[in-house]
Each structure stands twice: as structure tokens, then as C-alpha cells.
């Protein structure tokens, strides 16, 4: 059996060879505090990548984190350092269209670092799409859908503010699906808050809940029947990521479907969750799966196991959200929609033309690559000194 490193003939596609890679940390303020069970943010941080090919074409990518290395082990500082020192050197000189080879080289250069790898793969796909004049989705099998129903997340913790916020989204026909973050306060307060929200939005909105790993099994068993009575249709990651067996036990006692998020980064994770019957739905995110190709691999395992697909986000700008939409556009079934509202929670965006939100859907951007253009003036404005 041949175990030699993957190589590409050097004389093929010289104009598509990666000539340089530039990484920039940016911090963009949010319109309101975004509060999860273990952290809150008032500015969102990204690493923006620009990959230049030998023919001069530039592709862009984005890695997002939440509040430093608290949602996962990656922070923007670590992402930039690992790209600059390890991942970028592994790609220099490689043809940008050799995506599997690029993935193998990055995996050999650094373990995990899935957000960093996703940003690099996005930039490669964007560059190839621009070089060929085609959308990135076409390079991954073709477009199945050009718009996706989109959730808005209510995460301030103040029910009066959240009701006003939801009413504004409904009136503007931007969102009629809402995800409510819980776990930052006592369950009794969260349930009281949910009662107010469900009463105010009854019959006009679909509601799901995200506990971000905040509950143990006992708390989940206590809370889930109440959520079922309130009409909540899905609960995301109620238990810690390590407790897949606990998720399976809770799922066996719940009438509300459960969604896996932090416990599924790799296709192997997805297989373990499926084998344990621990989730009904999985949240797909580039920052977890290492790129668009990795996202599709996780989705394929989920589909084979009968687990539903949901397009998760980490408050990406239009750059990162557009990359997700290119991947989502190629999936045969995305029955639970997506939550790529990130561009709307920022006080400013990083794209020349932000994504289009209309009639309760987010629309796939038109154009080559990921479909949006980086606004370099804004990149300079929000770049970290």
C-alpha cells in the first residue's frame, strides 16, 4: 500500500498556484449584546484571509470565533498565528483547485484548527471560482436552492427587549423563526422568559431553544416537557459536548427533537452521535468541520443516519455567511433552514454588498466564488492594530 505524501504535478495549472496568503484580525461591534450560556459579546472578531494566485486572482475567507477560545479552543489570535506559521506555508505553490490535497497538507501541518482551515479552504474556493467565473457551489456539485429560511437569535436575556426585537423582524418580513439562547441564568428565569416570548409571538413565529451545553441530564429532563408545552420545536445541545450517552438518554424521554452542535466537529463525531441515537438534527458550521468539503462530509453521514440538517452560524459577516450558503446551496435537503443572521447583528459589514434578507429567507449571493466582495476600506477600518 502506498503511504507516500500526496503530490500534484508541478507543470499543471501554474496560473492557479497559491502565490501568497495574508491574514488580518478584525473586530466589528454588534448592535446589541449577544449573550450565550457561558459568554457574551459586544463586538465580533474574525480573521480575514486573502489568498493571491499566480495569475493575480484573489480569494477571500473568514474564520469566526465567539469571545476568544471559549466556544472552542480557537481564538482569532491563535488562528492567525497558526495560519501564518504552519498552514499557509503548507499551501504556497499548490494549485488552488486541488482542495483535497490542500486539506491533506493542512492536516499534516496542524491538528484540529478547524476554523483556520475552513477560512483557508474558503479562500481557495473563492479564488478558483473567480478564476473560472463560476460560483463555489458549482465546484461542489451544483446549486439545489438559491435561498434558505433563516432564523434570528434572541440573546439579550431581556424578554421585553427581545419581544420588541422579534416584532421588528416580523414587521420587516426578515425573520419569522427565532432561536432563543438560554442557560446564562437560572432555569426558572429562563422558563419565565420563554413563557413571555411564546405568548407574545404565538401563532406568528417558529421558536427553537439553544442551551449551549448549560444543562445536565436532570435539568434537561425537567425543562424539556415545559418547552414542549410552550410549542418549542427543537432544542440545541442541552448537555455538555462530551455527554453523548446522556444526550441519547434525554432524547429517549423527550417529545421535543434535539440538535447536536458542539459535540459534532468531524464525520467521526457525527457517526458516534448517530450510532448512539443522541440527536434528531445536526448543526452544520464551517468553523467546526474544517471547510465546505468537510461540512458536506458531516452532512453525508447525518443523511445516511436519518439525522436532519440545520445551517448553524457563529455570527459570521457576509463573507463567512456567503461561504456557508455556497455549501448549503448544494445539499439535497436542509429541512431545518439556517441561522445566518450574522451580517445583521453587526454595526457594519465586511462585504461591498451585504447578503440579501427578504421574505424570511437569506438569498444565495450571485457571482463567482463565494459571491461577495471584500470591502478593503472596511477591512482597514476594523483591523486590529
Q: Which residues are catalytic?
A: 181
Q: Degrees (nearest 5) of the Cα angle 228, 282, 206?
A: 40
The overall longest dimension of the chain from CA atoms, in Å, is 65
Q: Degrees (nearest 5) of the Cα angle 110, 111, 113?
A: 85
Backbone phi, then psi, for 83, in 5-degree steps? -65, -50
DSSP-derived pairing of the beta strands 308-311 and 206-210 = unpaired
Q: Which residues of 286-309 are buried (b: 16+ CB within 10 A; e: fewer)?
A: bbbbbbbbbbbbbbebbeeeebbb
Q: Degrees (nearest 5) of the Cα angle 259, 261, 266?
A: 120
- Among residues 272, 303, 276, the alpha carbon closest in space to that of 284 is found at 303
Q: Measure the CA–CA gap between 46 and 349, rounded to whole angstroms.
A: 12
For residue 193, give every residue at least 6 positions away whose Cβ sits within 8 Å of its Cβ, in sequence order, or none: 157, 159, 162, 180, 182
Amino acid at each position: 500500500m502506498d503511504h507516500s505524501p500526496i503530490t500534484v504535478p508541478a507543470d499543471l495549472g501554474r496560473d492557479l498556484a497559491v502565490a501568497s496568503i495574508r491574514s488580518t484580525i478584525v473586530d466589528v461591534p454588534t448592535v446589541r449584546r449577544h449573550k450565550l450560556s457561558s459568554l457574551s459579546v459586544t463586538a465580533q472578531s474574525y480573521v480575514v484571509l486573502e489568498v493571491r494566485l499566480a495569475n493575480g486572482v484573489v480569494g477571500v475567507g473568514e474564520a469566526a470565533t465567539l469571545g476568544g477560545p471559549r466556544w472552542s479552543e480557537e481564538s482569532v489570535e491563535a488562528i492567525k498565528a497558526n495560519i501564518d506559521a504552519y498552514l499557509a506555508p503548507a499551501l504556497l505553490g499548490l494549485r488552488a483547485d486541488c482542495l483535497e490535497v490542500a486539506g491533506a497538507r493542512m492536516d499534516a501541518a496542524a491538528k484540529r484548527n478547524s476554523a483556520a482551515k475552513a477560512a483557508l479552504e474558503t479562500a481557495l474556493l473563492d479564488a478558483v471560482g473567480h478564476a473560472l467565473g463560476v460560483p463555489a457551489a458549482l465546484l461542489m456539485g451544483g446549486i439545489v436552492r438559491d435561498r434558505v429560511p433563516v432564523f434570528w437569535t434572541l440573546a439579550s436575556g431581556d424578554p421585553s427587549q427581545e419581544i420588541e426585537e422579534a416584532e421588528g423582524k416580523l414587521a420587516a418580513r426578515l425573520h419569522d423563526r427565532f432561536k432563543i439562547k438560554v442557560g446564562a441564568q437560572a432555569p426558572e428565569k429562563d422558563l419565565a422568559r420563554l413563557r413571555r416570548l411564546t405568548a407574545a409571538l404565538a401563532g406568528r413565529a417558529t421558536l427553537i431553544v439553544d442551551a449551549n451545553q448549560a444543562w445536565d441530564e436532570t435539568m434537561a429532563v425537567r425543562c424539556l416537557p415545559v418547552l414542549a408545552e410552550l410549542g418549542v420545536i427543537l432544542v440545541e445541545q442541552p448537555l455538555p459536548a462530551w455527554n453523548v450517552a446522556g444526550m441519547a438518554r434525554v432524547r429517549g424521554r423527550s417529545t421535543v427533537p434535539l440538535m447536536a452542535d458542539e459535540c459534532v466537529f468531524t464525520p467521526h463525531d457525527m457517526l458516534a452521535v448517530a450510532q448512539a441515537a443522541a440527536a434528531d438534527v445536526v448543526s452544520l458550521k464551517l468553523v467546526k468541520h474544517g471547510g465546505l468539503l468537510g461540512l458536506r462530509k458531516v452532512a453525508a453521514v447525518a443523511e445516511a443516519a436519518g439525522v436532519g440538517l440545520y445551517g448553524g452560524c457563529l455570527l459570521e459577516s457576509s463573507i463567512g455567511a456567503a461561504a456557508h450558503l455556497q455549501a448549503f446551496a448544494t445539499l439535497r435537503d436542509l429541512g431545518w433552514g439556517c441561522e445566518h443572521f450574522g451580517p445583521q447583528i453587526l454595526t457594519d459589514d465586511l462585504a461591498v454588498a451585504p447578503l440579501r434578507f427578504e421574505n424570511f429567507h437569506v438569498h444565495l449571493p450571485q457571482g463567482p466564488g463565494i459571491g461577495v466582495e471584500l470591502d478593503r476600506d472596511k477591512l482597514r477600518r476594523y483591523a486590529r492594530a
